[in-house]
Every structure is written in C-alpha cells, then in structure tokens.
C-alpha cells in the first residue's frame, strides 16, 4: 500500500530546536557565572572515534560550554585513564564526562565506565543511571543520548503518552536497544524487543505501530515488514560500497530499506539526517542538565 502522506522526520531540524533551547538556557546560566563544562576522553587514534569526538567538542563550543578534550595514547595504562577520570570527577568546572568507546583491549571498559561519577555520566552508562531508567525514574540521572534522541522524535509524532501502541525494538544493545525499550515502556507503549535469536522477526515487526531498528545490518528491514502507517525510527548508520560506482565510493544507509519503507510507513527517519543529529544534541542537553543540577537550577525539557 503506497502512503502518499508519509512524513520524513527531520532529525536535523528537531536537533536544531533542542540545541536552540540548550543555547538559550546556557545564556541564562551565564548571567550568574555558570558555564556547563563537558570533558571528552579519547584513547588512541581510531579515525572514526576521532571524528565523533571532534564533532562533540565543536558542538559543545557552539553551545557556549567549556569544552575539554583529553587525548591519551593507545598504550595508556588503565590506571592512568582511571586517574584522569578521577581528576575530572573532582573538577568543579566539569559537569559532564564522556569516555569515547571502544577502548583498547587491555583496558576494562566496564571498570572505566563505572569510575565516572554518576552525576557527570552524560552517556547514561553508569549502573546508577541504567537503574534509574530501568525503574522509570527519568527526572534525575541520564538517559543514553541515542535512545533519548529517538524518543523525542517518536513523541513529536505520537505525543508523550504512547498508551495503546505496540512498539518493537530491533536490537538489544546496552547503548540503544535496552534503554530504548525502557523509555518506550515508561511512556506506556507495549514493547517487544527482538534480536538475532528471535524467530519470525518480520511478523513481529508487522505488528508494530512504532518500529525502532538498531541492529547494524544495512537495509535489513524491508518494506513488507512494516505495518502500513507505522512510525519507523532507523538508528542504523552503515557505510556500504556503491555497486555501480567507481570502486571506493561509499554511502551511508540505515538498518531500514528507506526507499521501500517510505511507501508504507506513516513517518520515517532518514539516514543520514534522522537519529544521528539527535544523538549529539542530547549529549549537549545532558551536559546542560548536569550543570543545572550541580547548581540547583531547574532542568529544561525538550
């Protein structure tokens, strides 16, 4: 069934609206001499991580934040990394700390994440923040940036209360799938999490009023997996080779076959320009929230 009215959700525009609010609130804090501070720690020289970290630091600058970057060599010891985090935990000018993942194999990632003060854990990966989200406590703590951003897009379509809606989350990662499912559940939708061991995924997806794809498989979700009129949120960012083009040419695609899905969905996020821009906007929003809480100020909503 072709849907003439499929809405292509501009994550770029909605992210800009979040960032405008972050910037305005940051200006109002500046009157009282408060400046949100974000510290990003990167270990090694992985090109993709370098690009991500540079864009996070740039966005923090644009928001008027203090932006600190710690670059550590690939062979840095775990003890040294923990020392850097400890000093950031005590630094009053730093409200948010993000350690870019993945870390080199000799470092215990879990130990590093749990060493970040929960009050500064703007990634929302600390057990304390995972527990808050799991128990539906959203007004303190931090929600991981990608699902937080995806949720704003969903609520721009369906409103705050998702009662009566069936949501299917494809993927069960700690960074996206699990927190996404918790957010959808807290908003009263009926949630199913599907993953690589789930039989008959297509039939499950066809029941979804809200389908979130976060599996990391290029264009896995086909048009006939989608319930006509559903909202489709594509979290995947996959770089694939372009078959017809000169070798070496690549393009970004999501986990959803966009061209097919747009014919059936009621609303859909594109890749790029959908969830991606929301992730970085929510990192700024989380950092601002951390600064507001540290100074006893009210936290803006988005």
Catalytic residues: 56, 100, 123
CB of 41 to ligand GUN, least distance (A): 9
Assess contact for 221 and 201: CB atoms under 8 A.
Answer: no
* Position 123 contacts ligand GUN (CB under 6 A): yes
Taking contact as CB under 6 A, which single stretch among the options 87-95, 96-104, 152-160, 229-237 is the one that binds ligand GUN?
Answer: 96-104
Nearer to ligand GUN, 38 or 291 (CB): 38
* Position 98 contacts ligand GUN (CB under 6 A): yes
Instruction: Return the half-sphere exposure (C-beta side, CA atoms, 13 A cut-off) of residue 129.
Output: 26
Number of shown-chain residues binding ligand GUN (CB under 6 A): 7
* Position 100 contacts ligand GUN (CB under 6 A): yes
Would you put residue 97 in left (φ > 0), alpha (ψ -120 to 50) or beta? Answer: beta
Transcribe 10-76 into DSSP letters. Answer: -HHHHHHHHHHHHHHHHHHHHTTT---EEEEEEES--HHHHHHHHHHHHHHHHTT-EEEEEEE-TT-
Pick from 68, 99, 143, 281 the residue near ligand GUN by CB under 6 A: 99
Taking contact as CB under 6 A, which single stretch among the options 60-68, 94-102, 227-235, 251-259 is the one that binds ligand GUN?
Answer: 94-102
CB of 175 to ligand GUN, least distance (A): 6
Assess contact for 88 and 118: CB atoms under 8 A.
Answer: no
CB of 123 to ligand GUN, least distance (A): 5
* Euclidean distance between CA atoms 175 and 163, whole angstroms: 25
Nearer to ligand GUN, 19 or 145 (CB): 145
Would you tell me the crossing angle of helices 275-294 and 47-62 to the nearest 10 degrees?
60
Bridge-partner residues for 211, per DSSP?
Answer: 168, 232
Nearer to ligand GUN, 101 or 223 (CB): 101
Transcribe 189-206 into DSSP letters. Answer: -EEEEE-TT-TTHHHHHT
Pick from 101, 138, 185, 299 the residue near ligand GUN by CB under 6 A: 101
Residue nearest to ligand GUN as judged by C-beta position: 101
Nearer to ligand GUN, 123 or 257 (CB): 123
In this structure, the number of other CB atoms found within 10 A of the CB of residue 31 comes to 7
- Strands 250-253, 210-213: pairing is unpaired
CB of 225 to ligand GUN, least distance (A): 26
List interacting residues with ligand GUN (CB under 6 A).
98-101, 123, 145, 175
């Amino acid at each position: 069934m072709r849907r003439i009215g499929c809405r292509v959700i501009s994550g770029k525009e909605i992210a800009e609206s979040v960032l405008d609010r972050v910037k305005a609130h940051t200006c109002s804090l500046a009157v009282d001499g408060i400046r949100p501070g974000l510290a990003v720690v990167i270990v090694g020289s992985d090109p993709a991580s370098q690009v991500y970290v540079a864009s996070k630091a740039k966005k923090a600058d644009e928001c008027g934040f203090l932006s600190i970057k710690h670059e550590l060599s690939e062979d840095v010891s775990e003890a040294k990394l923990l020392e850097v985090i400890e000093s950031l935990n005590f630094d009053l000018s730093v409200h948010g700390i993000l350690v870019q993942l993945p870390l080199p194999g000799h470092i215990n990632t879990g130990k590093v994440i749990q060493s970040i003060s929960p009050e500064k854990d703007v990634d929302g990966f600390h057990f304390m923040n995972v527990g808050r989200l799991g128990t539906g406590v959203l007004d303190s703590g931090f929600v991981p940036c990608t699902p937080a951003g995806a949720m704003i897009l969903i609520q721009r379509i369906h409103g705050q209360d998702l009662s009566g809606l069936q949501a299917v989350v494809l993927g069960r990662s700690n960074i996206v799938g699990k927190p996404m499912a918790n957010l959808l559940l807290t908003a009263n939708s009926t949630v199913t999490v599907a993953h690589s061991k789930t039989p008959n995924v297509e039939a499950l997806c066809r029941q979804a009023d809200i389908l979130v794809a976060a599996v990391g498989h290029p264009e896995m979700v086909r048009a006939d997996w989608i319930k006509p009129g559903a909202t489709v949120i594509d979290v995947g960012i996959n770089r694939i080779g372009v078959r017809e083009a000169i070798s070496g040419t690549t393009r970004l695609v999501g986990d959803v076959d966009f061209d097919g899905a747009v014919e059936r969905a009621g609303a859909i996020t594109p890749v790029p320009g959908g969830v991606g821009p929301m992730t970085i906007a929510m990192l700024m929003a989380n950092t601002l929230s951390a600064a507001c809480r540290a100074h006893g100020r009210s936290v803006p909503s988005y």
